[in-house]
Structure 1
Amino acid sequence: MSTVTIGLMCSFLAGMSTTLGAVPIFFTKKISHKYLDGLLGFAAGVMLAATCFSLIIPSINYGGGDLKAVLITSAGIMTGGIMLDLIDKYAPHEHMLFQNKKEGNSSSLSKVWLFIIAITIHNFPEGLAVGVGFGTNNISDGLSLALGIGLQNIPEGLAVALALKRENYSNKQAFLISMLTGIVEPIGGVIGIVLSSISKPLLPFILALAAGAMLFVISDEIIPETHEHGYERIATYGLLIGFVIMMILDVTLG
């Protein structure tokens, strides 16, 4: 199979791992914030390590490893962060994981659709990162990214399903919606692969752009959500464990 085909398959599987995370809602009525904060901290750690070792360092290396390469990577990181910030400001959406919080322009869409848009904004950079990883034609780099994103999507899938349960959706509805939120990642994967394939000279910038978008999500969304109920120390250790595991995976596979 071509690198593109493998990349599409891996980005799809990474996105669908949200489905695996949602399975526990069929077997338990409630999961403590303490447990969930630790899991989401783990997800943040995996994303952070993937950003550093699978996106930022390759961006600098592909750019030549000199000061010019660092500046290009820096510009890409800032562009990715600003891009996510603008989408977050203007796309109507609502966060329901720990507290109801509407953002973006006003909309007549139902609450669940606003929540799905919020998760879509959150998940798109992850798919983009996986696609860009495979767009380098280095399958091992792409695989480590896809595996890491898949790992961190498991606790996110659980968090999404629990948020929907709190809004009185049935187990089946919460499970299906959680599964659907992962579909955006293959879309981001396609865009990442296409962008990387069109222009190799732009590859360092595109890698860094995906990194900046991921960093924005980590800092603006995941970490604040894990510090809402007094379990920030547990979430921090979860982040450290996730970072170390992803670092090991990246060195082993990359």
Structure 2
Amino acid sequence: MESLSPIMLGFLGALAAGSLTAIGAIPVLFGRIPSRATRDLSLGFAAGVMLAASFFSLIIPALDAAELRYTSSAAPAAIVVVAILLGMGAVAFMNEKLPHEHFSTGREGPEAASLRRVWLFIIAITIHNFPEGLAVGVGFGADGMSGGLPLAVGIGLQNAPEGLAVAVSLLGEGYSKGRAWGIAALTGLVEPIGGLLGAGIITISQPILPWGLAFAAGAMLYVISHEIIPETHRNGHQNKATLGLSVGLALMLFLDVWLG
């Protein structure tokens, strides 16, 4: 694996992480659907993994990379803060401009009513998953295996409960078990596209490394705050969701230190 280019590593790492979406959705094929409380616990875990990855695998390395280029202590902090806000703003812009649908909050974006519901939902998941693939790609592009592997493993782990949540929601909309699983599996395929883009940009232009790392972190932070945490807190299972978040955060911190 070390002989592969960072761009290929970014693509393969994001592909592996995205494939966990399909694996996580497998229980629906056998009619084994976890309770709502269990799903909120697992989505809380996913939020914790993403939160830890944003800070320990992206923001801190972004600060380190910026400090190597600038002697002023204010410049690295300013670069990272601006890039985080740009990442959050980019996902917010897509969320605003692309028609899509969340099962919890309904249709959003322009002309949403003119598209079939399944396509609206797929667009929503694409907006959600792309920053995750981007983060994996940026990690590999920045520091090879040591930078990307913890992100790929962590995001892969949190993709499993997300895949299950997608498939269960589609079952609730009347889709067959096979079709619900298939659509859930397909939503993970946007991640290798993000991985390829992230690794490619960072590899081609090293000066934008701190910008890319912090941008990816901001994009993931928006998804955590806007999508995952509200979803886990709307059914009265806040304590379980918070427990899941705590475990996910601690596990991702361990993985980042161990694998990084």
Q: TM-score range by the shorter chain?
A: over 0.9
AA partner of residue 110 (structure 2) = N
Is 1:93 the counterpart of 2:100 in the alignment?
yes
1:144 aligns with 150
AA partner of residue 33 (structure 1) = R
* Distance (Å, rounded) in 1 between the aligned partners of 2:11 and 2:56: 21
Measure how far apart 1:195 and its partner are.
Answer: 1.4
1:25 aligns with 28
1:128 aligns with 134
Is 1:75 the counterpart of 2:82 in the alignment?
yes
- From 60, 63, 67, give the equivalent of 1:64: 67
Measure how far apart 1:28 and its partner are.
Answer: 2.8
Query: How many residue pairs end up in the alignment?
Result: 252
Measure how far apart 1:38 and its partner are.
Answer: 0.1
Measure how far apart 1:8 and its partner are.
Answer: 1.3
Measure how far apart 1:100 and its partner are.
Answer: 4.7
Say which SS state the counterpart of residue 25 (structure 2) adopts.
helix
Say whether the 8 Å CA contact 2:48–2:247 is kept in structure 1.
Answer: yes
Q: Deviations over 1:112-139 (max 9, x none)?
A: 0000000000000000000100111331
Is 1:84 the counterpart of 2:84 in the alignment?
no
2:214 aligns with 208
Say whether the 8 Å CA contact 2:11–2:137 is kept in structure 1.
Answer: yes
Q: Deviations over 1:190-218 (max 9, x none)?
A: 11012112211111011100000000000
* Distance (Å, rounded) in 1 between the aligned partners of 2:115 and 2:250: 40
Q: For structure 1, which runs of at least 5 residues remain unmatched after alignment?
A: none
* Distance (Å, rounded) in 2 between the aligned partners of 1:195 and 1:239: 31
2:47 aligns with 44
2:229 aligns with 223
Q: Which runs of 4+ in 1 moved over 6 A?
A: none
Say which SS state the counterpart of residue 31 (structure 1) adopts.
coil
* Distance (Å, rounded) in 2 between the aligned partners of 1:190 and 1:4: 6
Calculate the TM-score normalised by the size of structure 2: 0.94
* Distance (Å, rounded) in 1 between the aligned partners of 2:40 and 2:61: 31
* Distance (Å, rounded) in 2 between the aligned partners of 1:87 and 1:109: 17
Say whether the 8 Å CA contact 2:6–2:199 is kept in structure 1.
Answer: no
1:102 aligns with 107
Is 1:165 the counterpart of 2:171 in the alignment?
yes
Measure how far apart 1:109 and its partner are.
Answer: 1.3
* Distance (Å, rounded) in 2 between the aligned partners of 1:30 and 1:7: 33
1:174 aligns with 180
Say which SS state the counterpart of residue 213 (structure 2) adopts.
helix
Q: Deviations over 1:144-164 (max 9, x none)?
A: 000001000000000000010
- From 224, 238, 248, give the equivalent of 1:242: 248
2:161 aligns with 155
Measure how far apart 1:6 and its partner are.
Answer: 2.1
The structure-2 alpha-carbon separation of the partners of 1:194 and 1:185, relative to structure 1 and needing over 3 Å to count, comes to: same
* Distance (Å, rounded) in 1 between the aligned partners of 2:133 and 2:222: 15
Is 1:10 the counterpart of 2:10 in the alignment?
no
AA partner of residue 66 (structure 2) = G
Say which SS state the counterpart of residue 101 (structure 2) adopts.
strand
